Amino acid sequence: SQTIHQWPATLVQPVGSPLSLECTVEGTSNPNLYWYRQAAGRGLQLLFYSVGIGQISSEVPQNLSASRPQDRQFILSSKKLLLSDSGFYLCAWRRRYSGNTIYFGEGSWLTVV
Amino acid sequence: KQEVTQIPAALSVPEGENLVLNCSFTDSAIYNLQWFRQDPGKGLTSLLLIQSSQREQTSGRLNASLDKSSGRSTLYIAASQPGDSATYLCAAGVAIQGAQKLVFGQGTRLTINP
């Protein structure tokens, strides 16, 4: 069976500090990978998606970046966090060639202080 | 641009009632419609996925319907239980370059009272 792991679960970071959130998927290969953010009082917004190693597409301009160094690893980063980066970050995956269901990880709570 | 709306934003009902959650979308060019459950502070659990060619899907006490022409989906929960209390999100699957993404509604926060 497939599983998705995301860490850390909770993070409190000062403004201007760097960020690294990591996500890995097990039990599948060549998945489509996604980073979503859920800000307080707002819906889920797609930040980045990837269809393969090193291939990153951004949905919205922002202070964040993403990387996919391995097939089943997806990393969300920032060099200098802003207060507005606070929120709940969710990694997700989908089988590329069959099935439409998108599966989500448990999420990472980021508070920038 | 696809927009997804969920009504009501919050719903509180006594245990045992049947209930319907509503979801509407503006663009009928969707691959699918997916319903999720989110418990407080947690990730999303997929409940049901309806392909664009389908009219409904059922899983246990849950039944989801899809009417692409009217841009609507409903999630029917039968014989509600306190454990059903959560936020329910619907999301439309739409095409993006080389992949597919979900466009989410704001969710309906459901409370089932014992």
**∠B111-A108-B98 over CA atoms, to 5°?**
100
The pLDDT of residue A57: 93
The pLDDT of residue A99: 63
Res. A74: pLDDT tops 70: yes
What is the per-residue burial (b if ≥16 Cβ within 10 Å, else e) of A20-53? ebebbbeebeebbbbbbbbeeeebbbbbbbbbee
Chain A nearest-CA distance from B113, in A, is 24
Is B100 in contact with A100 (Cβ distance < 8 A)?
yes
Least confident window among A40-44, A69-73, B34-38, B89-93: A40-44
Contact B19, B8 (CB under 8 A): no
User: From residue B92, how far is each of A45, A84, A85, B32, B102 by CA, in Å?
Assistant: 13, 26, 25, 6, 5
Chain A nearest-CA distance from B45, in A, is 7
Question: How many Å apart are CA B37 and CA A89, to the nearest integer?
Answer: 16
Question: How many Å apart are CA B94 and CA A102, to the nearest integer?
Answer: 12
Question: How many Å apart are CA A64 and CA B37, to the nearest integer?
Answer: 27
Contact A22, A3 (CB under 8 A): no
pLDDT band at A98 (very low <50, low <70, confident <90, very high): low
Nearest to B111 by CA among B74, B75, B80, B76: B80
User: What are A22's strand-pairing partners?
Assistant: A7, A75
The pLDDT of residue B111: 97
User: From residue B82, how far is each of A70, B13, B61 by CA, in Å?
Assistant: 42, 10, 14
> Mutate which of B2, B4, B30, B44 to disrupt the A interface (most A C-beta within 10 Å)?
B44
pLDDT band at A112 (very low <50, low <70, confident <90, very high): very high
Note the pLDDT tens digit of each residue in B33-55: 999 999 998 899 999 999 999 99
- Residues in chain B closer than 8 A to A101 (CB atoms): 34, 46, 49
Nearest to B43 among A49, A90, A101 (CB): A90
The pLDDT of residue A40: 75
Chain B nearest-CA distance from A49, in A, is 8
Nearest to B97 among A42, A45, A57 (CB): A57
What residues contact A46, with CB distance under 8 A and at least 6 apart? A34, A35, A36, A59, A60, B101, B102
Note the pLDDT tens digit of each residue in A16-54: 999 999 999 999 889 999 999 998 777 899 999 999 999
Mean of the pLDDT values across residues A89-104? 85
- Residues of B with a Cβ under 8 Å from any A Cβ are 31-32, 34, 36, 41-46, 49, 51, 89, 91, 93, 96-102, 104-107
- Residues in chain B closer than 8 A to A51 (CB atoms): 98-99
If you count residue pairs, one on A and one on B, with CB atoms under 8 Å apart, how many are there?
A: 63
Least confident window among A53-62, B17-26, B103-112: A53-62
Contact A54, A73 (CB under 8 A): no
